[in-house]
Amino acid sequence: MASRANHLILLGCALLCAAALPCSDSRPVAAAESQPQAAVPASNFPVVSAARLAGDSSQTRLILDLDQTITFRAFTLADPYRVVVDVPQINFQLPTGTGTAGRGLVKAFRYGLVMPGGSRIVLDLAGPARIANSYVLEAANGQPARLVLELEEVDRAAFVQSMAPESRAALRPPTTDAPPAPAAPEPAQQKPVVPTDSRPVVVIDPGHGGIDNGTQSSGESEKNLVLAFGLALRDRLEKSGKYRVVMTRDDDTFIPLNDRVKVARSLNAALFVSIHADALPRKEGDAQGATIYTLSDKASDAEAERLADTENKSDAIGGVNLSDEPTDVADILIDLAQRETRTFSNRFARLLMGEMKTTVRMHKHPLKSAGFRVLKAPDVPSVLVELGYVSNKGDLEHLVSESWRSRTVTSMAQAIDAFLAKRLATAGSSN
């Protein structure tokens, strides 16, 4: 990527031009188009080949297809409501009329050159919305690089709060000769300021629950075993004070798979760990040991595929219609393919295996991948841990053992510490 310092200089200059861009026109940005282009041929600039909107009036995404990754800065402006995305100079190779039709939170968007070396995309909003997430994905698996901007509906107060300080200042009314405002109340009368909890959020997801028992053997049910383990892991992480720990369930409750994913996404979780304990049909042998799964469109082996199919169908037990999902959301999840998130998920899986293998018996193939729906949050690193096989006598003895549980929880906590070390350092420096 380009130098961050050079990029900030470009963005600083572009920010000064924000007021100069017309906001009612949905055609490509006209300001500065009449200025001479930089001497560099247009073919040498990054190319945007497609731009589209997806979502609804509560959440909307803008996706740009690129021929290479770029740096960018996105910010909001009010009166009228807009989102501005500043990028290096780009060659927009988009069909005529792109951006004139809006969708969801976006009435229309326009784009163009604002200065030699700098381009801009302006989204005219239907109402106040905040930038919930923004990122660039590298090209992978035959798909182009992409810039993704995720917007979320908010009220005006939240919108104003999300603006940059210099933009908020422009909303303040000018000073007048009016009488001075009443004196502020005494400090004792003011509401205390609640500090923002900047600790990383770790979501622990004990599988199954309620009418979904999971696998059962020798009087033990998977739902109870994994809940006990999840609660122990929660207590261990909370004791360290480093994280906000959230359970998808902390009792015998059935939680649909999609809702488990939504918990992690709504909290901007730094990590999602789903806990299970499998059982194999007798004809497939007597496998044993812990296995760590990450998301894949194609299962790493027949056993992984069978397990994913079984787990994905567990929603049917709770009477949930799995086909009743918004098409746009499904398309975007497939489109983005969790590229960067999968990289982080795989990194954590390797760290977790390294810690667990010193204290826990692992499967002969401890790292696998499959299409688990519970791992499909596009922006939350996620793994599914099969602690062992309830169908294996030795594994079952471990699963009901408090000492084994304690050792395994410790190894997981150490892997989480290692994975989130950088995030912890950042949170600490911002306090």
Q: How confident is the model over 169-187, as pLDDT tens digits?
A: 555 444 344 444 444 444 4
Of the candidates 274, 277, 279, 231, the residue with the CA atom closest to the CA atom of residue 252: 231
Structure tokens at 316: 């049917």
What's the chain's length in residues? 431
Give residue limits of the domains in the chain.
4-164, 201-430
- Check: CB of residue 205 under 8 Å from CB of residue 260: yes
Of the candidates 39, 183, 62, 171, the residue with the CA atom closest to the CA atom of residue 116: 39
Phi, psi of 123 (to 5 degrees): -105, 120
DSSP character for 297? Answer: S
- Alpha helix (H) ranges present in 63-153? none
Q: Report, in angstroms and rounded to the nearest whole number, the Rg of the chain calculated over CA atoms.
A: 25
- Check: CB of residue 44 under 8 Å from CB of residue 37: no
DSSP character for 252? Answer: S
CATH code of the domain made up of 4-164? 2.60.40.3500
- Check: CB of residue 409 under 8 Å from CB of residue 233: yes
Query: Rounded to whole angstroms, how far apart are CA atoms 388 and 397?
Result: 10
Of the candidates 155, 144, 160, the residue with the CA atom closest to the CA atom of residue 65: 144
Digit-coded pLDDT (tens) for 69-128: 999 989 888 888 999 999 999 999 999 899 999 999 999 999 988 777 889 999 999 999
Residues of the chain with pLDDT below 50 are 1-28, 30-40, 172-194, 283-284, 300, 304, 313, 315-335, 337
Q: Which pLDDT score is estimated for 118? A: 85
Of the candidates 349, 370, 351, the residue with the CA atom closest to the CA atom of residue 278: 370
CA atoms within 13 A on the CB side of 217: 21
Query: Rounded to whole angstroms, how far apart are CA atoms 289 and 390?
Result: 10
Q: Which pLDDT score is estimated for 7? A: 40
Query: Rounded to whole angstroms, how far apart are CA atoms 48 and 376?
Result: 27
pTM of the model: 0.51
- One of 3.40.50.300, 3.40.50.800, 3.40.630.40, 3.10.580.10 is the CATH number of 201-430, namely 3.40.630.40
Amino acid at position 298, single letter:
K
3-state secondary structure of 258: helix
Structure tokens at 392: 């294996």
- Alpha helix (H) ranges present in 216-292? 222-240, 257-266
Structure tokens at 402: 């408090």
Phi, psi of 8 (to 5 degrees): -65, -35
- Check: CB of residue 365 under 8 Å from CB of residue 196: no
Whose tokens are 């408090």? That residue is 402
Whose tokens are 């004196």? That residue is 183
